[in-house]
Amino acid sequence: MPKLVVSLDGVVIKEVQLTKDKTTLGRRPYNDIVIDNLAVSGEHAVLQMVGQDVYIEDQNSTNGTYINGRAVKKQLLQHNDTVEIGKYKIKYLVEDSADYEKTMILKPGQMPPGIGGARPQMPTSPGHLPPPSNFGSLGISTVTQASIKVLSGAAAGREVALTKVVTTVGKPGVQVASITKRPGGYVFAHVEGGTRPTVNGSAVQGDPVHLKDGDVIELAGTQMQFVQP
């Protein structure tokens, strides 16, 4: 489970387990994580949990949000990242991180041309697969392997295997969604972008949508089909 360790001048002030889909951070008392300091805006940043991934998004704060010394607007957090807000340092930690597979982010340069340009990322060959994770004990390993098939654009007909627990698809900064493998099957959720993606013509709102074989996803101007034999 991911957690945040908040420190000031090397002294740990608090530790917070991230258990909610959305966690707010700021100076105002109604935030989930309250940092009472003038360098911190009233509503400074939001942490959004999608599957095993956590994104942090700056809420147009006065002094900005920094990750490992670099200013960010929205970014996927990695284990051991340091978020800097004013003089405060917030360490992002994923407990038992070795038990989780890394998210495969499909972005320009890694995606099929119909989704974001360039050729699709090839799946790992059987001889180089990582060791089985503990997700098998949760029943995830019993879920039938699925893929997404591109229906429109220059890459029509190509398939991308959903080999990770969480696969993020779309065009960063435009429209991004995630497909998460759970014990009960795969679910599709909106991550970022002003326009909501659709499943079978219906816009995806706050709750993730359970995917079924043959469902048609439209995301960032590209149509894809969920395939699960």
Q: Which structural domains are found in the chain, ordered by start?
A: 2-97 (2.60.200.20), 101-227 (2.60.200.20)
Burial of 39 (C-beta count, 10 Å sphere; 0-12/13-18/19+)? middle
Model-level pTM?
Answer: 0.45
Q: What is the per-residue pLDDT for 104?
A: 43
Residue 84: other Cβ atoms inside 10 A? 17
| Cβ-based neighbours of 34, under 8 Å, separated by 6 or more | 26, 27, 28
Distance CA 152, CA 114 (A): 7
Per-residue pLDDT of the chain (229 residues; tens, 9 = 90+): 788 888 877 777 788 888 888 999 998 989 888 888 888 999 999 999 888 889 999 999 999 999 999 999 999 998 889 999 988 899 998 865 443 444 444 444 444 444 444 444 444 444 455 454 444 444 455 678 899 988 887 777 888 888 877 777 777 667 778 888 888 889 888 877 778 899 999 998 877 889 999 999 998 888 999 999 8
Strands 2-8 and 11-17 come out as antiparallel
CA 227 to chain centre: 21
Distance CA 55, CA 75 (A): 5
Burial 198-208 (b: 16+ CB within 10 A, else e): bbeeeebeeeb
CA 54 to chain centre: 6
Q: What is the per-residue pLDDT for 166?
A: 74
